[in-house]
Structure 1
Amino acid sequence: MSRAQELSDIQWERIAPLMPQVKGRSRPFRDHRQVVEGIVYRYRCGVAWRDVPESFGPWQTIWKRHDRFSSDGTWDKIHAALMAEADAAGQIDWAVSIDSTINRAHQHATILPRARGAAENHKNPRLEPADHAIGRSRGGLSTKIHHAVDGRGRPLAVLVGPGQGGDAPMCLPVLAAIRVPRLGPGRPRTRPAAVLADKAYSSRAIRAELRRRGVVSVIPEPGDQQGHRKRRGSAGGRPATYDAATYKGRNVVERAFCLLSRYDKHAVNYRGAVVLAAILSWLRTQ
């Protein structure tokens, strides 16, 4: 492939039928492939929209198309279709790992007014949160990407939040966002076989919810929780157990993160870029 082509012909043939088409007398879309190649190029190189090479078309068209696909669910639809194909072929490893990573927010992404401490809307990640998923952590203004990936490191669900947000409060919303459709009849699959996570996700609420859903918990217990439980004696309950051999597979989530510096003002567009990166991950491994 040349530098003006980010997707192979085979990869494009898989997602081309899923691209929206204009019906009626509306103005037709500019060539989808050219524009999508431009969007991928922009995020791969981390350039401003205005600096995307003219070979991909007008930068305004590239930005508007990404903005539209991020908010109308096109990227999510393509992501879901690829997961459905993999699940039908038995290619998804349902030992799901969950984790987060912090990415710095560029100054161009932080110029919008924000309602600090605003409640995040996880039920519909395509709605713009009042804080634009930007917060202040040790590294400055930043955004957190929360991922749930299958046993091969391919994203099943993606949410974004402010950089100072904790990991444990986002665990259940991320798991709730897992929905892998069936190619035939039947409800989407939403329940992993096991959930692998580090000590930051160790809490009674999370373990109780996983037990309720019949999901195996592979989460180690931190030392402070162990000491607190022992001090309470029999009232502290039984120690948390987990399969140490299975836990070794959690490293796939570390390799799954695409470190996308945030230049986008709106969280919806930034999440769209992360979902697009997830689409590319599925295309490369199927």
Structure 2
Amino acid sequence: MSRFRLLSDEQWALIEDLLPVRTGRPGRPFSDARAMVEGIIYRYRCGIAWRDVPAVFGPWQTIWTWHRRLSAEGTWDRVLQRLLAAAEAAGEIDWAISVDSTIARAHQHATNITRVTQGASSNYTNPRIEPPDHALGRSRGGLSTKIHELVDGNGRPLVVLLTAGQAGDSPLFLPLMRHLSVPRPTGGPVRTRPDRVRGDKAYSSRAIRTHLRTRKIGAVIPEPADQQGHRKRRGSRGGRPPAFDEVDYRGRNVIERYFNQLKHWRGIATRFDKLATVYRAAVVLHAVITWTNTLSDMT
């Protein structure tokens, strides 16, 4: 445990009041909420079984139950919204956002669950509702889950969604944008429109470009070779090539670097959780820790 850095006092102060003061059912003895959170972090950081979480954090059954309950209640999403509002008030959010996805291989312990795969899909309206396929699908590497994210210009997460591993990137762009909502410091309408969006060729579709153009959001998305060929073969009817800022596109690497940091948590790099809501909550918790690091450094 000496190699593992737990929450600092400054980080804990940013999230403490949004977490339950008790664990377990009413009437049960009080358990230290900070120890519960640190136990959850420890488990995902090390990628161990819940029953192997050190006893210093408390009973592993309590830690698991607490995490499961917070996942279903959307507590970590509310904590993330609080931190995003604080970051926006401090001018810390860079609204040149990037979009991408990464694959997490599912361990055999995660796949031992009944799945409805015929016509099933993940829930994009309310990601806290367990989807019938549990966001598990078969891609080239076997059963896997795909993590889709929006990050700001500095590579800090804004929105997290899950799908089965074989799902495409492009269909998830609009759901990601619908979930982008950051409260403004003045108390006015929440901010839902970035300045521009950076994405790779997987996001070069007519629907996405039309959506961004309609909302007056800059699109920094390269055009694939096949789309270039189709456009040129149509001649003047093919229209002009879409605008593309090659220099600005270099900033898209921030989301690749963030995924690298995300997978330092071994319990996220490999999915051990049966329920998609529980696994997604761990990814959101990593986002919470990322923003507490940023905000605590400002104090």
TM-score category (smaller protein): over 0.9
* TM-fit CA distance, 1:21: 3.9
Deviation at 1:28, TM superposition (A): 6.0
1:266 to 254, 267, 275: 275
1:111-260 equivalent positions in 2, closer than 5 A = 111-116=112-117, 117-257=119-259, 258-259=262-263, 260=268
State how far apart, in whole Å, the 1-side matches of 2:79 and 2:165 are: 27
Distance 1:232 1:121 in 2: 38
What is the TM-score of this pair, normalised by structure 1? 0.96
The answer for unaligned runs of 5 or more in structure 1 is none
**Cα deviation, residue 240, structure 1:** 1.3
Q: Which residue of 2 aligns with 1:39?
A: 40
- What is the alpha-carbon distance in structure 1 between the residues aligned to residue 29 and residue 15 of structure 2? 18
The alignment's TM-score, normalised by the length of structure 2, stands at 0.92
> Residue type matched to 2:159 in 1?
A
Q: Secondary structure at the match of 2:124?
A: coil
* SS class of match (1:132): coil
CA contact (8 A) 1:193 1:215 kept: yes
Which of 264, 267, 280 is 2:289 aligned to?
A: 280
* 1:6 to 2:15 alignment: no
- Please name the residue that 2:89 is paired with: 88
Matching of residue 17 in structure 1 with residue 26 in structure 2: no
Question: For residues 31 and 110 of structure 1, what CA distance do their matches in structure 2 show?
Answer: 32
Provide the secondary structure at the position in 1 that maps to 2:98: strand
- State the distance in 1 between where 2:100 and 2:4 align: 33
In structure 2, runs of 5+ residues without a counterpart are none
Q: Deviations over 1:178-228 (max 9, x none)?
A: 111234421211111100000011000000000111110000000000001
Amino acid at match of 1:106: H
Where 1:160 maps in the other structure, the secondary structure is strand
Contact 2:21 2:33 in 1 (8 A): no
Residues matched between the structures, number: 286
Match of 2:64 in 1: 63
In structure 1, what is the Cα distance between the partners aligned to 2:186 and 2:21?
24
Residue 73 of structure 1 corresponds to 74
> Structure 1 CA distance, aligned partners of 2:39 and 2:51?
11
| Seq. identity, % | 61
SS in 2 for 1:166: coil
Please give the alpha-carbon distance, in whole angstroms, between the structure 1 residues aligned to 2:210 and 2:43: 43
CA–CA distance in structure 2, aligned partners of residues 118 and 29 of structure 1: 41
CA distance in 2 between counterparts of 1:28 and 1:94 reads 45
